[in-house]
Amino acid sequence: MPEKDDPVVIKKYANRRLYNTGTSTYVTLEDLAEMVKRDEEFVVQDAKTGNDITHTVLTQIIFELENDKDGQNMLPISFLRQLIAFYGDQMQMVVPSFLEQSMQAFSKEQERMREHMQKAFGGKHADMMDFSAPMKMIEEQTRRNLEMFQSAMQMFAPAPSPTANHSSTNEDERTAAPTREGAQDDLNDLREQIAAMQRKLDSMGRD
């Protein structure tokens, strides 16, 4: 029997039906979305193989919500294009942690944002609403996230060569030079991409 704090196990069968082992009932993607909103932890397993398919199912939930004709899209086309472009790129390995940290920071600030939005929007008509305060908070948070991202990128910087080692042969230096040049090129590429992200943030702030 699972412990109280253990995530609920959801079994997905070949007929695509989802079974909540915690409540012994069949559930839908909408039910799982509500569980996420209630901050209820769960994992989804393939009923036949036992493989963890949580990522796939959560992606399906996002797909359904984004295509709900009565809902509102949360993922801008520009964001989707940029995200797709990162697949297979040298930046791909750092994008997940950057997005995760950004969303965690945003979640921590959401209550303060709600208070500001309530003060800004409460009792006002739509054409009188002042979006400047919450937008400035979002821009400020985004800039902080970018600063964290830039700090994380420092780990890719090549380590300085020790000055005390003067015994290396010319052959060793010729062999090491291409490696250092390649690492520097990669670092320059990363810096250029970070600078591009900064320019986009600046343009958003001016809009």
Domain positions in the chain: 8-66, 77-158+175-206
Structural contact between residues 96 and 103, judged by C-beta atoms closer than 8 angstroms: no
pLDDT value at 126 more than 50: no
pLDDT value at 131 more than 60: no
Secondary structure (3-state) at 76 = coil
Taking the alpha carbons at both ends of the chain, their separation in whole angstroms is 55
Report the alpha-carbon distance of residue 202 to residue 207 in Å, rounded.
9
State mean pLDDT over 89-101: 86
pLDDT of residue 1: 46
- If you write DSSP's letter for every residue of 120-166 in order, what string do you get? HHTT--GGG---HHHHHHHHHHHHHHHHHHHHHHGGGSPPPPPSS--
Structural contact between residues 190 and 89, judged by C-beta atoms closer than 8 angstroms: no
Structural contact between residues 18 and 44, judged by C-beta atoms closer than 8 angstroms: yes
Q: Which token pair is 93?
A: 């390995």
Identify the bridge partners of residue 26 per DSSP, sorted by sequence position: 19
Cα angle value 106/112/115 (rounded, 5°): 130
Q: Exposed, middle or buried: residue 50 (CB in 10 Å: 0-12, 13-18, 19+)?
A: exposed
pLDDT of residue 165: 52
pLDDT of residue 111: 75
Is the pTM of the predicted complex or chain greater than 0.85? no
pLDDT value at 47 more than 90: yes
Greater pLDDT, 195 or 6: 6
